[in-house]
Homo-oligomer: A and B are copies of this chain.
Amino acid sequence: MNWSWVMSLHEINKEALEIELEKSLTFWEDLSSNDKTRIIDNTYPVKYKKGESIHGGDSDCIGILLIQTGGLRTYILSEDGREVTLYRLTPGDVCVLSSSCVLSNITFDVHIDADFDSELLIINSDVYSDLAANNLYIENFTNKEAVARFSDVMWAMQQILFMSFDKRLASFLLDEISRDGSLEIHMTHDQIAKYVGSAREVVSRMLKYFASEGIVTLQRGGITILDKARLRQIVGLI
């Protein structure tokens, strides 16, 4: 973690912090005021630059992450070092897999990067772990969040295993333009390959095919969608 981003403690407005914690942690009202104070005192705002690694490899149990702005991408590394995206988290989401030491039944590790410039609140994992061990509401909340990510991973797995690649790429392009409302996607083929769990060559070939069909136009470092209806047709939505 890039600790240079950690604000000094006296900069934190504790009341504002409590409001954020209460919003995201559904067990907040089931905590004693002592436990609330303990969490507040052990939560730190941290900023990450787009593309920066937040969790993965050696940095084992970084803590519970509350996403304030930006977004995170969780992935695993494939055989040849390709990244296979499992799911993305957006503001309001809570990331518990960054603190897998809290969850006794989690025996795998994932990588987490900042998808955009992001502001997070990080709850210290030792403190959280300690509280969860003595409070069933916290333990259940953590397991429940992990189960939600299980659903995300199953979706990604089905995409990777079963969907033909034209569908997968069309689905990705539709997701991207629906996310920010623009018909332009500012990503390289290499970046898209990482997101869809494929190789750059495969992405380039399919995009070229889409371009030849008048579905997209390709520019350096970007793609413009010309025929959204056709993409929806490929995915099987219409």
Which A residues lie at the B interface, using CB under 8 A?
57, 76-82, 84, 103-108, 136-137, 139-140, 143-151, 153-155, 157-158, 160-165, 168, 193, 197-199, 201-202
Contact = CB atoms under 8 A, between A and B. Distances in A.
Given A140-B136, A140-B143, A161 B106 contact: no
A146 B150 contact: yes
B106 A158 contact: no
A81 to B, nearest CB: 4
A147 B80 contact: no
Contact of A79 (B81, B136, B149, B162): B162
A151 B97 CA distance: 11
A151 B107 contact: yes
Contacts of A84: 157, 161
B157 A202 contact: no
Given A136-B137, A140-B143, A79 B202 contact: yes
A210 to B, nearest CB: 15
Contacts of A201: 57, 77
A177 to B, nearest CB: 22
A143 B144 CA distance: 6
Contact of A157 (B57, B143, B157): B157
Contact of A197 (B77, B80, B153): B80
A81 B84 CA distance: 23
B81 A197 contact: yes
A174 to B, nearest CB: 18
